Amino acid sequence: MYINRHAVLMIALTAITACSGTPESERIAQNDDGKICRYEKVTGSHIGTRICRTPEQIEKEKQDAQEALRTLQRGRTNNTN
């Protein structure tokens, strides 16, 4: 009985780890022109889109996102209405 439980556990563990790989959204490649490309899934779609950006654009988007998060956490927006 112990061997059967152990075998089932090993098969289940193997099946779970075999399915884990690099997600498509994390596959990154660099072009000859210095742009970094990655596949990103669009909301509502299972098909990835190839998006290429320069390192400067990536850093700017990261800073903008961090600033937006800080603004939301403070509970203020730049709404002048």
- Spell out the SS3 assignment of 50-66: EEEECHHHHHHHHHHHH
Residues whose CB falls within 8 Å of the CB of residue 25, separated by 6 or more in sequence, listed in order = 38, 39, 40, 41, 48
16 in any annotated domain: no
54 in any annotated domain: yes
61 in any annotated domain: yes
Domain count, the chain: 1
- Phi/psi at 30 (5° precision): -110, 130
Residue-number span of the structural domain to which 32 is assigned: 22-74
pLDDT tens digits in sequence order for the chain, 81 residues long: 556 666 666 676 565 655 555 555 456 777 778 899 888 888 888 888 888 999 999 999 999 999 999 999 988 655 655
Residues whose CB falls within 8 Å of the CB of residue 41, separated by 6 or more in sequence, listed in order = 24, 25, 47, 48, 49
Of 6, 44, 52, the C-alpha closest to 27 is: 52
Note the pLDDT of residue 25.
Answer: 47
14 in any annotated domain: no
79 in any annotated domain: no
